[in-house]
Structure 1
Amino acid sequence: MTALEEKYAIQTGFRERMDEDELLNCMRCGFCLPACPTYITSGYDEAQSPRGRIALMKAVRDGMIEWDDDVDRSLGLCLGCRACEPVCPAGVKYGHLLEEARDIIQDYKNLSLPVNTIRKAIFQGLFPHQDRMQTVTGLLGFYQKSGLQTIVRKIGFMKLFPVHLASMEQILPKVPSKKDMMNRPRYLEPAGEKCARVGFFSGCLMETMFMDTNNSTLKLLQLAGCEIIIPKDQSCCGALHGHSGEKQGSIELAKKNIQAFEELNVDYIITNAGGCGAFLIDYHHLLSGDPEWAERARQFTEKIKDFTEILVDLDFHKKAELKLDHQIVTYQDSCHLRNVMKTFSAPRLLLSRINGITFKEMKDAGSCCGSAGIYNIVEPEMSMRILDTKMGHTKASCADTVVTANPGCLLQMKLGIVREGMSDQMEAVHIADLLLEAVQ
């Protein structure tokens, strides 16, 4: 495809597939501007704001401007945090518009052979296959446990990589053995009186690199009185695909997950990763145009609930004795957990009930940390600038412990702590791990 044919195909795709009504819903009022990290960090560049990006989408759709590298850059630089949605008086579903625009671009964009190969390896070859995720995680475990990691660091090999990637190597969690990953139980009894029957969405990264956090979550659910089913046939939620212009891949994963859970007769489907939960709860939109799957998707999404919400609903914070050594704790919201799943107060309530700690609200706790899936890898400059702002607020809280509820956020905050040289003063933890420590 020539460059001219590429441009024509993308503009045709925008005209045929972009939701004109949703584009017109944007009133250009500007309420989204103070909520947008890229608008603020870029020095108030209108092209890096939600209303600016919507204006660009509409202009391409209407043929007022041609799609070009500047439009592509504007859409690509968006974090997809969706902080603009809760503050929008017109209720514009910006996240849906962004994902559709990115999918159209990826459908017709001329990609180099290396980029195309890497994308296929990640989106088709790795994330949809849990056994391959386990294999890759097992290799990481060998790297950590064999002494190879020590040698690599000692000889300075990581200095050959960009600074942010070298720093990321330092904050990777200790991963479980492949045996542990393969021997996950599929049914767990409640610790006491049964209060609810739930399905647990284990995720791909959470069930491999962050399996210990999944284990903490499951133990907390048991203590709260949950009978738990963990279906073997579930897969990656599809968020990485959906945010990266791989819509068809996310649709296939959504159908697989709906099938895995729909016959379980559970009260809720529980998640412990904000990014996964937000995408799962959007399955009804993703499959709304498919007569066979639309209703099944709606029933699925109605059961999605973050684990902190069900702990509060079941009065876990009133029944359990929660206690930790004295420390100042602050909470960093997962963007998607807060902006899409609307889970805000439950994590804070649980943290406030831990005896011995002082909970201190961080300034702009709901603003993005700059992780955004793989954003911190593909857009390191903007990501690190956003992280620096977040770390300024974190340090101002004087916290010993930074708590969050999403694996990407957790790694990003760990990275921020390393970059600030504060590893001996502050730590970042997932809220499930902290709560279980407080119970024990």
Structure 2
Amino acid sequence: MQTRERKKIQQNFVAKMDYDELMNCTRCGFCLPSCPTYKETNQDEKHSPRGRIAIMKGVVDGLIEPDDEVKRSIDLCLGCRACETACPSGVNFGQLLEQARHAIYEVNNQSATEKVARTQVLNRFFMDQKEMVSAVNLLGIYQRTGIGKFAHSFGLMSMLPDTMATMEKVLPKAPTKRQMQNRPRYYEPIGKKTKKVAFFGGCLMDTLFLKTNESTTKLLQYAGCEIVVPEGQGCCGALHGHSGEVDQSKVLAKRNIEAFEKAGVDYIITNAGGCGAFLVDYGHLLRDEPEWKARAEAFSAKIQDITSILVDLDFHKQKLSLPRQIVTYQDSCHLRNGQKVSEQPRQLLRAIEGVEFVEMVGADSCCGSAGIYNLVESDMSMQILDKKMTHVKATDAKTIVTTNPGCLLQMKLGIEREGLSDKMDGVHIVDLLVEAYERANR
């Protein structure tokens, strides 16, 4: 890193970091046992929340030069926010991490891999839902035609990094372009109306995971909800915000706020833990823009995870059944640590007749997915995943349930890496609940 870049980054830290929030850290160390990278680097303090905050403060104070080692410390963080749940002082570490990454990446000090991931993944597909639809449509063509078989038979997949090559095997079957473009915008409740809600479809969820979104609207209908799906919504901006691309995340946030403002609903429902946690923080994201701050806070106040509203509406008291099996649950970090939702998914799983719910050791620790982390920090991601799979196998579960698309793909990746695809599967909780409801009520 050149001297000029270091000076600019240091200036950015001074301008962008919330110094009061940095000072809230009392250096007590309660966060250390909760931090995956601290544990996986043999308790290297610079890869702990406390250490990272000390580094951030040192850069702001001019005591630490923002060199490659500082950047490495910030980059290696998963952003899982488990430290926030453990912190007795209530330090908002996730917000500090985003500020630090913004300060660094505004100078464009990126590796070739990071540049490709940011330019093609973040700033193209996730900024424009039409681009996302086109990309998923191409994936569907690849999956449905002989192109995929050709790529495998000629060993083309071996040219990819191991993680990407294995990920290709576990991707869901992509819907057609027509299916993605012909999504209903309104759903009548089934039975007595309980609530009027809006559904946040997201970007990947409304394309690659369209089946899961359809399961979500079915569950809401079964729970008596009238549902509107506002046009004009798109990516929540979480991946951009977590990666330091704050300006892009603000553009997406404003787009979503405008899309939902006229819906006239009780709640805005999400089914992806990472999206929900970022949507809840729109007020903070737009805190410096007076014309948007109040609108953002009003929007965020209505956000509710699908598992929360289902429990509120006593869905777990309905008839639910599945073939006898052991099920375990992997927490979405941002659902648990960002939205403070952890018991509701477990409550719903325990309510299914035929299911033996077995709590996994370390279910509340990160699986290593973390947005695009498993692409740009593959070694650490797989190190964390391999340890996670040790705990998964100890449950003897047939099904691993998650509440976030990134977690779902990561757990499916772990199953594939362990050679367990014939014995175990990973599913989103709404897909499991729809199957359980329809089996019990047919």
> TM range, normalised to the smaller chain?
over 0.9
SS across alignment from 2:152: helix
- Structure 1 423/116 Cα, relative in aligned 2: closer, same or farther at 3 Å? closer
Amino acid at match of 2:76: L
State the shift of 1:131 in Å: 1.1
TM-score, normalised via structure 2 length: 0.97
Partner in structure 2 of residue 39 of structure 1: 38
Match of 1:439 in 2: 437
Does 1:255 pair with 2:251?
no
Cα deviation, residue 15, structure 1: 1.4
Shift of 1:122: 2.8
Q: Distance in 1 between matches of 2:316 and 2:23?
A: 45
Moved over 2 A (4+): 109-125
The aligned counterpart of 1:21 is 20
Q: TM-score, normalised by structure 1?
A: 0.98
Cα distance between partner residues in 2 of 1:386 and 1:48: 14
Superposition map of 1:152-167 within 5 A:
152-167=151-166
What secondary structure does 1:81 align onto? coil
Letter in 1 for 2:219: L
Report if aligned partners of 2:308, 2:341 keep a CA contact under 8 Å in 1. yes
Contact 1:6 1:109 in 2 (8 A): no
Measured after TM superposition, the shift of residue 259 of structure 1 is 0.6
* Counterpart in the other structure of 1:101: 100
Indicate if the aligned counterparts of 2:113 and 2:376 stay in contact, CA closer than 8 A: no
| Per-residue Cα deviation, 1:237-284 (whole angstroms, up to 9, x for no partner) | 000100111000001110110111011110000000001001000101
Q: Does the 8 Å CA contact 2:325/2:354 hold for their aligned counterparts?
A: yes
Contact 2:236 2:249 in 1 (8 A): yes
Structure 2 residue ranges without an equivalent (≥5)? none
Q: CA deviation at 1:154?
A: 2.2
The residue number in structure 1 matching 2:271 is 272
State the AA in 1 paired with 2:422: D
Equivalent position of 1:125 in the other structure: 124
**Who is 1:174 aligned against?**
173
1:401 to 399, 407, 410: 399
Match of 2:106, SS? Answer: helix
Cα deviation per residue 1:111-167 (whole Å; 9 max; x = unaligned)? 478854652333332212111111110000000001211222222221122211111
Which residue is 1:383 aligned to?
A: 381
Structure-2 change in CA distance of 1:169 and 1:112 (3 Å): closer
Deviation at 1:110, TM superposition (A): 3.9
Q: Distance in 2 between matches of 1:4 and 1:159?
A: 40
Preserved contact between residue 133 and residue 204 of structure 1 (Cα < 8 Å):
yes
User: Which position in structure 2 is the counterpart of 1:216?
Assistant: 215
Q: Name the Cα RMSD after superposition.
A: 1.2
Structure 1 unmatched ranges of 5 or more: none
- 2:4 counterpart residue number: 5
Structure 1 position 233 matched with structure 2 position 270: no
Taking the aligned partners of 2:108 and 2:192, their CA distance within structure 1 comes to: 56
Corresponding residue SS for 2:8: helix
Q: C-alpha distance in 1, partners of 2:69/2:418? A: 33
Contact 2:197–2:268 (8 Å) recurs in 1: yes
- Supply the AA of the counterpart residue of 2:339: M
Secondary structure at the counterpart of residue 84 of structure 1: helix
Work out whether 1:331 is the aligned partner of 2:362: no
Distance 1:272 1:117 in 2: 28
8 Å Cα contact 2:189/2:221 also seen in 1: yes
